[in-house]
Structure 1
Amino acid sequence: MFEETLTAAAHGVVVPPSRASDAAAAEPAAGVRCVAAGRVRDIAASAGDPAFIDRCVERYAAAGFGVADEAEVRSWRNSWPPLLEALMRAGLSDLQLYLEYGTPGGGQRLDALLVGSAAQGAVGLVVIELKQWHTARVLDGTRVQRADGLVTTHPVQQVLAYGRFFDFWRPETAPVLDIRAAVVLHNADREQGEALRIRDGAGAGVPVVSGQDLAGPSAALAARLGCEGLASPTPDEVGAFERIVWTPSARLLAQVGDALKGQTTFALVGDQQHAYVQIRALVTGLLQGDPQGAVVTVRGGPGSGKTALAVRLLGYLMRHQEKSRPRFVTPSGTLRTHLLEAAGGHAQARDLFPPVSSLYSTAQHAGSVIIDEAQRMARSDDRPAPALAEVLRKVPLVVVFLDERQIIRPGEGTTVDELRDTARALGRTHHHFELTGSFRCNGSAAYTTWVDELLYGTPTPWTGHHDYDLALSDDPFQLQHWIEQATAAGHTARTTAGFCWRWTRTRGATTLPLDIAITGPATTAGPARTWKAAWNAADTLTDPDGRPLAPHNQLWATHTGGHQQIGCIYSAQGLEYHHSGIIIGPDLTWNNGRWGAHPDQSHDPKLRKLTPDQYLPYALNTYRVLLTRGTHTTHIHTTHPGTHHLLASLIR
């Protein structure tokens, strides 16, 4: 009967009036992060209400997922109706359903999660990945290429990784779980669904359900959706599932901890080692029942080893202090991507590294939180953001790493003084450590001092040639040639620039637009020449056969091909490479013995509307970051004659 009256409309699910009037509101339970929760029948009935999507948008923000953009909402309108209709036709109306279910750490969000009663008292979970694809080309067992050219993870592997979260994060005291998965391609035909089905190895048992399958006989639908044998869960079973305190299993902690510990770049010396030992002692005290809790701040300049110390501390907490329930948070998406890669590629490790947007959720679940690059944290009314304050208030141990001279945008940044005052106001103890060494720039304190004097003090001639290789490039062609030579020799070499040229975002392209153009003056050696280059790619750039041509911007600093694109502050901050080329653009110039800022030359929308005086500290901090990425060599080119003259007088 239901299949005759429920229609998958573009704007929701139409339900018979007799059912709609009794529909539940599908409100998420306390502590469950999702946009809708309830029995399938109740959500299907609520979805007929025109305000249903509006409520989901509100819950999306309340859950800490951010702001649901137009594309996200459009995917809900397109994908939920066929799923709900199929579940009803399959006789699964009494199963518990969560839409946009967020894992507690915030690292993953599941399109749909079904909960039912499985055999032998287990709780059955079915993770469903919804795709709007009409077609996709399989490149191998882990990658597919969409119709728009974008290469992405095979949806079967994607949904398997989501399902493994429940295995890797299930505490021993939780109910036994029967974990299943399915991929639903409601716009694809059966032939396309079969092409994406994996027949051997991991993923062989995961059904790929096409639109034709969804419209097929209702008797086969439950099995096609991976729900065979699942019965309606009792309210107690649903409650038991929702009350699970998800925490990384000892197996995952050991695997990720070993991977991080194995990174040879994380060796600690000097004041790093001193801070590490002292913080470990605090951890021991907290786990022995210290009720007061502690906030630790660690401040250090570029290359002082903040991230190395932060990662070593995380590895210790994961391997030896399981009760501390550690999380590592950074506002830098680039740094987070690299840490996930360093953790051995475990998809389940994403919740150990939750996005900064999920800080509220992190505060509810974590026993310890490490925050790196905290100077990039958002501010609120000249105070640390409420989400950061919530972490400081609720989490027993918070360790914050920051460099106040790396604040690069308005509305960002926190300071040691603010964190100390907040901790004391909350009745927490505060401990502070300074990292004074330099493990980048060949360990040259002379170079980092020279950079600080150049930007913030009185520029002085460079005399530390025996410590560090610093040079001035007369034109960008010379700089590019040097980068290519270093790369050919097997070194990591990258060029960065101030954000002084437009950046065209591309998806599915096979070439990048040459947005950066610098024209030099005509000389006796020849006419004026224009050098052109592309910014780092917004997404991985591939050829028609799916082979990578350029890495994703968050992997630009380390993955093959990155030397052929120009990085900016957002792709370079927090990272390092052997040889660093820097282009100082027209937003920062040296005139009449002082630095001048030109926000009108910036293409960063957050900065263009500032006054020159407001923009100057951000410009100085930005170039300080770019000038301190190279571990062995730095070469500088500037587009402004006066600035070039200054540097030529200092770098001989």
Structure 2
Amino acid sequence: MIVYSENKQQFVDDVRGNIIHEKILLEFKRSLGRTVAENEIASWRNSMQFMESVVNDPEIPADAGVSIEYNIPLTNNRVDFILTGKDHNNVDTAVIVELKQWSKVETTSKDAIVRTALGGGVRETNHPSYQAWSYAALIEDYNETVRLESIALRPCAYLHNLDSAEAINDPCYQEHINKAPVFISKDVKKLNAFLKQFVKHGDTTDIMYRIEHGKIKPSKNLADSLVSMIQGNTEFLMIDDQKLVYETAIDLAVNKAADKKQVLIVEGGPGTGKSVVAINLLVEMTKREKVTQYVSKNQAPRMVYSARLKGSITKGRIDNLFKGSASYTGVESGFFDTLIIDEAHRLIAKNRYNKDSENQVKELIAASKLAVFFIDEAQMVTWSDIGTKAEIHQWAAELGADVQEMQLQSQFRCNGSDGYLAWVDDAVQLRGTANPTLEGTDYEFKVFDDPCALRQAIRDKNLEANKARMVAGYCWDWVSDSRKQANDAAAMDIVIPQYGFEAQWNLANDGSLWIMAGNSVNEVGCIHTCQGLELDYIGVIVGEDLIVRDGEVITDAHKRSNMDASIRGFKKLLKENPDAAKEKADTIIKNTYRTLMTRGQKGCYFFSVDPETNAYFKERAEAVSLARPLIPTEKYAGLQLEVVDVPDEERYVTAIPLLNIKAAAGGFSLDQHLEVCDWVRLPEPFEHKLGYFVAQVVGESMNRRIPNGAWCLFKPDQGGSRNGKIVLVQSSHIQDTETGSSYTVKCYHSEKVSDDRGGWKHSKIVLSPMSSVGAFGDIELVGEQVESFGVVGEFVAVL
């Protein structure tokens, strides 16, 4: 998504008119249904004034493109400023500018890390050159259009409030500065020259539109990339807080851990890159000859990683790299240089198979010089989970270890959608958030009325890459358990008779490798075989342990299978302290479904055995924000403007007409159609002007500027030269190739010749498409066809 996209001249006008921040905020509200903090609005106003002074140069074409706040696909990271156009060789180019308002910078000993004033204190953060380069690399990595169409990306950084270049240009950062030069307050001319070096001609091919609507390559899967990473290749580009956590851990291991025990707690929600950073640390520490192991209580990630590495390195080396959390009882203090504990929230107090075991958190800290705990307390899903920050702090203090806390926020799962994650939290009523709807989220969430239909949808998605699976709450007994003497291996475990749905739990054949096994799409997994791993699509079946009544989410641990070890201890505590038992069980059940619903990178398919619960989630998924009134879709599909009744004297004052061009018969006249149209109110900063109207553009022939089905604002034809403008035209000689209509929206070009009276007339009119797909040809009007031609309106903007 691009929050702001205009040509350079319009950008200059918006800055000089002091409305640039208002237009950016308007689009945030329109597209995302939310606002931003006052300090971010102020930063737009401030930074864009500096950028206006840089680009307001006649050598930078007026029709160069300016895009602000471009959201990088599959992440929640945004690029501050992009200038698009063609370079001296007519290569499509996008210059990425990372803007910073820093006034002071300090160097650090960490790669690509600086210190500056952030969030009320002086903190470490990425060097802006590294940040700009990493964003460009991410776009190129994820966007197939950028690669196939050879769109050049040129990153740089601009610190317009920084007067001293000493720290930001320190030689220790030269590797990153070479990739993305950094400019300070005194470097306006240098930045201007940098931009002109790559944007010589205007953006006539809608570069940012092609990038924004380009084919997105799916996120890489950590397990699939593991072999390459172990061999030392860079598979995952760490950005922002991921890079900071990675460099901090290396610094602690290399410079601090020899003198005193160190503990690093890294918090992060689903898809924030905890496991990616953990594996990168494992590889780097091992390369540095540090005795290091990756630790996970959950067997599934270890088994999947081991299976991926099989054949590339020896089994002994695999076993030395990946360990269970119960492996450290009685280990000599400080034996390991570094222990990297993924999914640390799943640690338990005591290993019941080892009488000497006391507490896994204590044992891990004791056994290492540096213990890195990756944690998400919202994914504690069993009664015995103890991996909280408080628990880690307690044992660190007892063992004399220094503790540092950090957070991961850069989102890669769920298409980079923090909005979806917040919506799940709100929907299951784990915690109230500002995301009661899914508006503005780029994530497929679909509720099914039949589990058989959900299963078929998952099977269909699995054909693409074997990365779609079904999971369920543990509300059905494992009757096919091969470990039991009286079992029936052919029995169906999960039976929903009213729908004719039957399936087996996954553990019988594939165990912890269910998530990657070839035929396991027909089985149903549980929390124990998918936590810490990721798929493209997840199908979630909710049992009777979570239901909704009158809008309230209610949990009942008694509805869990008696075979479910995750709530072992519930009944005992229920007798001792009923309120505490119910509260803990409520959290575990909600955490379980939240975790299941966030295993998919692209989408989540949902079914509940309880009809009222299913209806609740379907209503929540289809809800829209009251801040964005929509016209009923059966009348005007996709329109996001308010339809209003206005008296005659308010027409073109508080509303303009919405015209059904496709229904207009014969010759078009704006006046004759006003009585049969609806009136709509425009959002700020658009004005309701005489002759302006809204109409829908259908088809792909203009998709570089106007998406299929977009509702657009048009203004009356002003006369004069129309060359290069996008116009809505009507002619009895036109038949639009997509709609068959005598109306079409195209880019206008004309040729003129002198007439007998010393004036001029049109000899030919050419209406050209602007499409990135298909083979749409020009529409040419010549001779007497020109006489029947009429411009209905000139395109202003997509609404």
**TM-score (normalised: structure 1):** 0.54
CA positional deviation for 1:262: 5.7
Give, in whole Å, the separation in 1 of the partners of 2:491 and 2:379: 29
**After superposition, what is the alpha-carbon deviation per residue over 1:523-552, rounded to whole angstroms, capped at 9, x for unaligned?**
xxxxxx3211111033x3xxxxxxxxxxx1
Larger mean Cα displacement after TM superposition, 260-269 or 448-457: 260-269
Q: Any idea what SS the aligned residue of 1:618 has?
A: helix
1:302 matched to which residue of 2? 270
* Alignment root-mean-square deviation, CA: 2.7
Aligned residues: 372
Counterpart of 2:346? 376
Gaps in structure 2 of 5+ consecutive residues: 1-225, 352-356, 575-581, 623-799
Is 1:518 the counterpart of 2:518? The answer is: no
2:709 maps to none
Is 1:463 matched with 2:423? no
1:314-366 deviation line (CA, Å, top 9, x unaligned) = 0001112x1x2111111010011122234345311212222222112555542
Structure 2 CA distance for partners of 1:558 and 1:593, relative to 1, 3 Å: same
Task: Provide the rounded CA distance (Å) in 2 between the counterparts of 1:341 and 1:262.
Answer: 19
- Deviations 1:570-612, CA, capped at 9 Å, x for gaps: 0110111111110111011112332211222111145264454
Aligned identity (percent) is 28
1:316-335 equivalences in 2 (<5 Å)? 316-320=284-288, 322=289, 324-335=290-301
Are residue 559 (structure 1) and residue 506 (structure 2) matched?
no
Confirm or deny that 1:352 pairs with 2:325. Answer: no
1:568 aligns with 2:526: yes
Change (3 A) 1:305 1:511: same
State the SS of the aligned residue for 1:480. Answer: helix
For residues 161-180 of structure 1, the aligned pairs below 5 Å read none
Per-residue CA shift, 1:366-415, capped at 9, x if unaligned? 2221111111111269xx95243133134211111111111111121221
Q: Structure 1 stretches of 5 or more lacking a match?
A: 1-255, 521-528, 541-551
1:48-63 matches, within 5 Å, as: none
Aligned position for 2:588:
618
The DSSP-based 3-state class of the residue aligned with 1:304 is: coil
Q: Distance in 2 between matches of 1:295 and 1:620?
A: 29
Pick from 300, 306, 328: which aligns with 1:340? Answer: 306
Asked if residue 450 in structure 1 is aligned to residue 418 in structure 2, the reply is: no
SS, match of residue 567 in structure 2: coil
1: CA distance between counterparts of 2:228 and 2:597?
A: 33
Output one character per residue of 1:219-266: Cα deviation in whole Å (capped at 9) or x when no partner: xxxxxxxxxxxxxxxxxxxxxxxxxxxxxxxxxxxxx98653567654
1:138-181 deviation per Cα after TM superposition (whole angstroms, max 9, x unaligned): xxxxxxxxxxxxxxxxxxxxxxxxxxxxxxxxxxxxxxxxxxxx
Match of 2:589, as an amino acid? A
- The match for 2:379 is 406
Aligned with residue 607 of structure 1, among 567, 576, 579: 567
Equivalent position SS for 2:469: strand
Structure 2 CA distance, aligned partners of 1:425 and 1:569?
33
Instruction: Give the aligned residue type for 1:447.
Output: Y
Distance 2:384 2:369 in 1: 27
SS of 1:489's partner is helix
Q: What SS does the corresponding residue of 1:396 show, helix, strand or coil?
A: strand
Q: What letter is aligned with 2:279?
A: V
Distance 2:285 2:232 in 1: 15
The alignment partner of 2:407 has SS state of strand
- Taking a change above 3 Å as real, the CA distance of residues 261 and 582 of structure 1, as seen in their structure-2 partners, is farther
Q: Are the counterparts in 2 of residues 330 and 371 from structure 1 also a CA contact under 8 Å?
A: yes
CA distance in structure 2 between the aligned counterparts of 1:400 and 1:591, rounded to whole angstroms: 38
CA contact (8 A) 1:292 1:428 kept: yes
Structure 2 distance, partners of 1:394, 1:574, is: 24
The 1:371/1:474 distance shift into structure 2, 3 A limit, reads same
Q: Distance in 1 between matches of 2:557 and 2:464?
A: 38
| Post-superposition offset of 1:458 | 4.6
Structure 1 residue 492 displacement after superposition: 1.1
Normalised by the length of structure 2, the TM-score is 0.44
C-alpha deviation, 1:615, in angstroms:
1.5
- 2:453 is the alignment partner of 1:478: yes
Aligned-partner Cα distance in 2 for 1:458–1:278: 32
> 2:322 aligns to what SS in structure 1?
coil
SS at match of 2:465: coil
In structure 2, distance between residues paired with 1:596 and 1:270: 38
Matched, 1:585 2:554: no
Matches within 5 A, 1:269-284: 269-284=239-254
Higher helix proportion: 1
What is the rounded CA distance, in whole Å, between the counterparts of 2:281 and 2:265 in structure 1? 13
Corresponding residue of 1:505: 481
How far apart are 1:642 and its partner, in Å? 1.9
- 1:534·1:565 contact (CA, 8 Å) conserved in 2? yes
- In 2, Cα distance between equivalents of 1:625 and 1:264: 28
2:267 and 2:375 in contact (8 A); partners too: yes
Q: Is the 1:583–1:639 Cα contact (8 Å) retained in structure 2?
A: yes
Name the structure, 1 or 2, with higher relative contact order (CA <8 Å, separation 6+): 1
Equivalent residue for 1:418, pick from 379, 391, 397: 391
State whether structure 2 residue 409 is matched by structure 1 residue 436. yes
In 2 relative to 1, CA 319–511 (structure 1 residues): closer, same or farther, beyond 3 Å? same
The answer as to whether partners of 2:232 and 2:283 remain within 8 angstroms in 1 is no
State the SS of the aligned residue for 2:382: coil
Deviation at 1:303, TM superposition (A): 0.9
Structure 1, residues 290-334: CA drift from partner, whole Å, max 9, x if none?
Answer: 3212011111111111111111000001112x1x21111110100
1:4 is matched with none
Q: What one-letter code is carried by the residue in structure 2 that aligns with 1:390?
A: E
Taking the aligned partners of 1:440 and 1:262, their CA distance within structure 2 comes to 24
Does residue 643 of structure 2 align to residue 643 of structure 1? Answer: no
CA 1:466/1:369 → structure 2, altered by over 3 Å: closer, same or farther?
A: closer
**CA pair 257-467 structure 1, distance change in 2 beyond 3 A:** closer
**Distance verdict in 2 for CA 1:614–1:427, change over 3 Å:** closer
Counterparts of 1:241-252 in structure 2, within 5 Å, are none
Mark the CA change 1:428 to 1:490 in structure 2 (over 3 Å): closer, same or farther.
Answer: closer
Offset of residue 491 of structure 1: 4.5
SS in 2 for 1:379: coil
Aligned match of 2:118: none
Assess, with a 3 A threshold, how the Cα gap between structure 1 residues 623 and 433 changes in structure 2: closer, same or farther.
same
Give the aligned partner of residue 259 of structure 2: 291
Structure showing greater radius of gyration is 2
Other structure's SS at 2:449 match: coil
Give the letter for the 1:457 counterpart.
R
Quote the residue 1:386 is aligned against.
359
Report the CA distance shift for 1:534/1:363 in structure 2 as closer, same or farther (over 3 A): farther
Instruction: Give a deviation string over 1:431-477, Cα, whole Å, max 9, x none.
Output: 11101121111111110111111121358653336511111011101
Task: Measure the CA separation in 1 of the matches of 2:444 and 2:501.
Answer: 25
